[in-house]
Amino acid sequence: MTATPAGGRHGQPWRAAGAAVVVLLAMAGAGMVGASMHTAATPHPPQPLHQGGGGRVGAGGTVAGQGVPDADTKAADGARPATGLARAAPTIISIPRIGVDAPIMTLGTNPDGTVQVPPLEQAMNAGWYSPGPSPGEIGNAVVVGHVDSAKIGGPAVFYSLGALQPGDTIEVARADGGRVTFTVDDVRSYPKTAFPTELVYGPNDRAGLRVVTCGGQFDQAAGSYVDNVVVFATMTG
Give the pLDDT of residue 164: 98
Confidence check: pLDDT of 90 > 60? yes
Between 2.60.120.680, 2.40.100.10, 3.40.190.10, 2.40.260.10, what CATH number should domain 2-63+88-235 receive?
Answer: 2.40.260.10
What is the rounded CA–CA span in Å between residue 43 and residue 127? 17
Confidence check: pLDDT of 166 > 60? yes
Higher pLDDT, 233 or 66: 233
Which residues have a Cβ under 8 Å from the Cβ of 194 and sit 6 or more positions away? 51, 52, 53, 54
Residues 22-65: tens digit of each pLDDT: 223 333 333 344 332 232 333 444 444 322 233 333 322 323 23
Give the pLDDT of residue 135: 98
Positive or negative, the CA dihedral 156, 162, 168, 174 is positive
Task: Enter the DSSP assignment of 75.
Answer: S
Give the pLDDT of residue 80: 52
**Confidence label for 171 from pLDDT (cuts 50, 70 and 90):** very high
In the predicted model, what is the mean pLDDT of residues 132-161?
Answer: 95
Query: Helices then strands (H, E): number in the chain?
Result: 1, 14
% pLDDT > 70, the chain:
65
% pLDDT > 90, the chain:
54
Three-class SS state of 163:
helix
Choose the weakest-confidence range: 31-35, 150-154, 165-169: 31-35
pTM tops 0.85:
no
Contact yes or no for 126/102 (Cβ under 8 A): yes
Contact yes or no for 204/71 (Cβ under 8 A): yes
**Confidence label for 95 from pLDDT (cuts 50, 70 and 90):** very high
Three-class SS state of 234:
strand
What is the rounded CA–CA span in Å between residue 152 and residue 137? 33
Choose the weakest-confidence range: 66-75, 96-105, 121-130, 222-231: 66-75
Confidence check: pLDDT of 71 > 60? no
